[in-house]
Each structure stands twice: as C-alpha cells, then as structure tokens.
Amino acid sequence: MDYLLEVIGVDISLPDPITVAMALLLSLIFFLTFLLVTGLSYLQLPKLIDSLFTQFSSTEFREIYQKVMTPHQGWLSWVIILTIVDLTVLVIPAPTLLKFLEFPLGLLVAINIIFLSFKLFIELFERYLIEVMLEEDRKINSELLALAKFLTKAVIVLTVVFLFAQTHQINIFGLVASLGIGGITIAFASQKVLEQILWSIVLYIDRPFTVDDYIHLPDGTLGRVESIGWRSTKVRLSGKNTLVIVPNSNLAQVNIENLTGASRVILMVNLTFLRSMSDEEKALIEQLILGSTREILGIDHQLTKITFHDLNEETGSNHVQAQVVFFILGAAQTSMELRRNLLEIARASIIERLHDYGITFKFEEKIIDIAQPMNI
C-alpha cells in the first residue's frame, strides 16, 4: 500500500483501518477487471485462434486442429487466461493478499496444463500418429506404443514441474538431493530398468529386424520374431515351436543374422513307394507330409509343393514317386549347419508320420541354392 502511495505522489500516513480498506478496494477493482477481461477473452479468444489457424496453416493442419483442438477450445481458453493472470501477478507489484493467492492459482494452472496436454496428445496419437505408421507399412508393437505414450507424458509432467518450480523459486534439485539414502536406493534399483529401456531405444532406432522376421543368433537360436517390447524380444523357436524371451540389452550387443532378406534354399525330397497307390492314398500322404513339417518355422510352408509320378518298371511292377520341394528360409553361405539341422528335422518328422500309418518308402534328398529374395 505504501508503495502505491509513493507512486501516486501522496505523502501522508494513513491509519491502519484505512490502509486495509484501500487494499480491499484495490483487490476488488482488480477482481472486477479480471472478470471483465476473462469474459471478453472467453468469447473472443476461440474466434481469434480459429482465425489465426485458418490464415497461417495448411489444409491438413487445419483439419488436425479442428478434430483435436476444437473440442477442447473452452478448456484451452481458460488455461491461457489463467496463465496470463498468474504471470501478471508474478511480474507486477501486487498486494500481499494477491501474492498469497497466486501460489494456489499457479498450482491450478500447472495441473490444468498437464491434464490438457495429456488429453491433446492422446487425441493426436490415436487419431493421426498410429494412422501414419500404418500407412507407412510399419509393424507396430503395442508395448513400444505404450512406452512412447508413457515417455511423452513423463516429459510433459517434468517440464511443467520444472517451470513451476523456477517461477516460484523452489529449489527442486535441493529437494531431490534431500531424499538422501532413499534417492540413492531408488537410483540403484532403477538402473537396470533404465538400461533395458535405453538398449530398447537403440534397438528400435537401428532396426536390425522387425516383427515376423526370421533371425539367427550366435548361441544357435533360430526363430521368428513375434514381438519387440520395451524390455525384451519374444522369438518363436524353429522346430520346437517354443517361445524364448531375449533381453534387448543382449540383442543390441551381439551379431544378428536376419534370414528374412537372404536367399532361399530349395530342399528336394523324393519318396519312392514300391507299389501302386490310389488317389485317396496320395491325398493322405500329402496331408501327412504337410502336417509333419508345418511346425518347423525354418520352412516356408506357403511354397511347399508335392507332386506324384507313376513309375513303371520293365519287370511290370508299378511304383509311385512323390517329389516334395521345400523352401528353407534364410540362406547365408555361413549357415550350412542350419540347413543340415532343418533337413534332419524335416526328414525325421516325415519318416515318423508315415511309419505311424505303416507306409514303407525310400527317402532321397537334394539341396539346391537359388538367389531368390524371400517374401515371408
């Protein structure tokens, strides 16, 4: 109050009741001015924002604004108005009562900014960002999307908290340091989790493989990538059809052979049956062969072909030969051991299924390398 009297040039000493009354009067005038400005701003601010976006934005950006921002224009207007009022009270000299009320007002503004930012980000994320990823034919993993949403929300909260602390002269770093032993314990406990997240980010940026790729690891693991999470990657093993979970920190530090972009290897198997066969028996054998190799993930089942040929010997005996053509996924020149393993798995599975039905035959195989890209 004395500061105001000095400004207007009045050098008198007022009694305490008069000083209090004038302070209340100034507060009332300020409050009425606030209501007037708020009412006018609430009516005109949405129109002003619409006009600015219409003049200075593209058609696509205007469409995003109308779908994401327009439903929350009232909330956005109130946040802008309260932010201006809060900054005004912080900057200009004001009565002690207003200074006292500024802290809860600033806290209210900070909370509203956080929740409004959450709402706008979720709207933008669900309406447009996921759609853009789908248009670019990227395989989306739900765990990575959840991680992206969590990190974005964490950045919003930390930014608002930091700005609120700076404007109100709160030593947030001293507060964190005062946690002492508890803070150190939390830091050590979260170190491994943060390490996994950082390696996951590196793995996702580098993208040595994607979901549905076939990969071969130095420890002999071969399988199809089922999902890439924020902590680990799930791989469906070939042959066993079991699921192995590999930490992303391990995958980011080893050599990975991506078999999806390699050449195919043709495995030709000839089964000779020493008797004639009906069409029903041929159909049964075809189903048995396909069923026995369906669980072997290293074989492209969509391209497996089975053809039957009737062979007539000079002695008059009739034989039937079934030619089975498999396409083995992944064929770098260093993966001969892998090919032999797949061949042994396929041969053992076919022999077992046919012997279960009492079918006798001769087994011959041949491996042919071809330079043909794999389309899984």
Which residues, in sequence order, are CB contacts of 285 under 8 Å at separation 6+? 271, 273, 277, 322, 354, 359
Residue 34 has pLDDT above 60, yes or no: no
Given this model, what pLDDT does residue 8 score? 37
Looking at the fold, whether 139 and 51 belong to one and the same domain comes out as: yes
In the chain, how many domains are there? 3
pLDDT of 37 strictly over 50? no
User: What is the reported pTM?
Assistant: 0.42
Which of 231, 258, 285 is the last residue before a domain boundary? 258
Pairwise pLDDT comparison (32 vs 312), residue with the higher score: 312
Percentage helix, strand, coil, to 5, in the chain? 60, 20, 25
- Residue 340 covered by a domain: yes
pLDDT digits (tens, 9 = 90+) for 177-213: 665 556 666 666 667 767 777 777 777 777 788 888 8
Instruction: Kindly state the average pLDDT of the residues 104-130.
Output: 82
Q: Are residues 167 and 18 in the same domain?
A: yes
pLDDT tens digit sequence for 224-260: 888 887 778 888 887 677 888 888 888 888 888 787 7
Q: Which residue has the tokens 């008069």?
A: 18
The whole-number pLDDT of residue 42 equals 47
Report, as an integer, the average pLDDT of 312-329. Answer: 74
**Is 329 inside a domain boundary?**
yes
Q: What is the pLDDT of residues 77-104, one digit of tens each?
A: 888 888 887 877 777 766 666 667 778 8
Q: Are residues 32 and 131 in the same domain?
A: yes
Based on the fold, state whether residues 159 and 273 are members of the same structural domain: no
Please check whether residues 236 and 291 belong to one and the same domain.
no
Q: Specify the long-range contacts of residues 63-69, CB closer than 8 Å, at least 24 apart.
A: 64/124, 64/127, 64/128, 67/123, 67/127, 68/120, 68/123, 68/124, 68/127, 68/128, 69/120
369 and 326 share a domain? yes
Do both 120 and 251 map to the same domain?
Answer: no
348: domain CATH number is 3.30.70.100
Nearest CA-CA partner of 78 in 118, 27, 39: 39
Last residue of one domain, picked from the residues 200, 227, 258: 258
Examine the domain organization and report whether 69 and 84 are in the same domain: yes
DSSP labels, 46-64: HHHHHHHHHHHS-HHHHHH
3-state class of 28 per DSSP? helix
> Is pLDDT at 308 greater than 80 in this prediction?
yes
- CA distances 95 to 12, 13, 99, 169, 359, Å, are 19, 18, 6, 19, 100
Structural domain range at position 241: 214-258
Say if residue 146 is in the same domain as residue 271.
no
**146 has pLDDT over 80:** no
DSSP calls for 335-350: -HHHHHHHHHHHHHHH
- Output the pLDDT for position 5: 40
Asked whether 241 and 310 are in contact (CB, 8 A), the reply is no
30/145 same-domain check: yes
Q: Which residues are bridge partners to 324 per DSSP?
A: 269, 306
The reported pLDDT for the residue numbered 84 is 82
Residue at 335 is within a domain: yes
Q: Are residues 314 and 170 in the same domain?
A: no
- 36 within some domain: yes
**Position 204 in a domain:** no
Q: Same domain for 122 and 235?
A: no
Residue 44 lies in a domain: yes
CATH number of the domain at 234, please: 2.30.30
